[in-house]
Structure 1
C-alpha cells in the first residue's frame, strides 16, 4: 500500500503545485474562473499557499505518516470547500475539483492503510 500512496501522493502533489503556481501567478484562466465564483483577488495568494502546503505535506508524509494523513485530510477539505463554492453559484463545471478531491481521498485511504 505504501507504494500506491507514494505514487498517488506524488502525482497529487504535482497537480497541487501546478494549480498553486497558476493561482499565485494569476493565470488568465484561473482569474476568470475564480472571479466567476466570486473569489476576491486578495485570496489568490493564500489559496495558492494552501495548495503548496498540501503538496509539501503529502511529500513529507512519505516519511512522516501522520503528516501525510493530515495533508490528505486538508486537501480533501480544501476541495470540498471548492466544490461548495462552485455549486453555490450554480457552476457545474466541477470535474477537476471532484477529481482532485477523490484523489485526495485515495491518498488518505492509502496512507492510512500503509501506516
Structure 2
C-alpha cells in the first residue's frame, strides 16, 4: 500500500465530487432531502453534520496529496460513510434510484480510488 496517492488524479476527482455533494447538502436539493429523510435522518436538525463530514473528507483527501497516510485514511473514511449510508438505506427499505446511483455509486467510486491510488 502506498502512503501517497499514485496516481493522484482519482483522489482529486473524489475530493471534487464530495465538495459538490457538500455544497448541495447545505440547502439540500430535493433528491438529497428525500434520500436523507427517507432513511429517517432528521435533516432539519442534523443536516449540518453531513456537510461537515463531507468537508472534512475533502480536506483529508487534499492534505493526503502531500502528507503520507492522510489520503488513504480519508478514503477509508469516505468508504465507511457510504457503507453506513447504504446500511441505513437497506434498513429503511429506501432502495430507489438515488440509493443505486448515488449511494452505491459513491461507495464503488471511493473503493476504486482506494484500490487504484493506494493499493496498486
The answer as to whether partners of 2:25 and 2:51 remain within 8 angstroms in 1 is: yes
Which is helix-richer, 1 or 2? 1
Root-mean-square deviation (Å):
1.7
- The Cα shift of 1:12 comes to 0.9
Confirm whether residue 45 of structure 1 aligns to residue 51 of structure 2.
no
Report runs of 4+ in structure 1 exceeding 3 Å deviation.
none
Q: Is 1:9 aligned to residue 11 of structure 2?
A: yes
Give the distance between the partners of 2:89 and 2:19, measured in 1 at CA.
21
Q: Which range moved further: 43-52 or 24-33?
A: 24-33
Query: Does 12-21 or 31-40 show the bigger shift?
Result: 31-40
- Structure 2 length-normalised TM: 0.83
The match for 2:29 among 5, 27, 30 is 27
Cα distance in 2, alignment partners of residues 49 and 33 from structure 1: 18
Report 1 or 2 for greater relative contact order, CA contacts < 8 Å, sequence distance ≥ 6.
2
TM-score calculated relative to the size of structure 1: 0.86
Does the 8 Å contact 2:10/2:117 carry over to 1? no
Which runs of 5 or more residues in structure 1 are unaligned?
none
Rounded to whole Å, the distance in 2 between the matches of 1:38 and 1:22 is: 19
Measure the CA separation in 2 of the matches of 1:11 and 1:106.
Answer: 12
Aligned-pair distance for 1:111? 3.7
Equivalence map 1:14-93=2 (5 Å): 14-41=16-43, 42-93=45-96
Matched residues, number: 112
In structure 2, the partner of 1:107 is 113
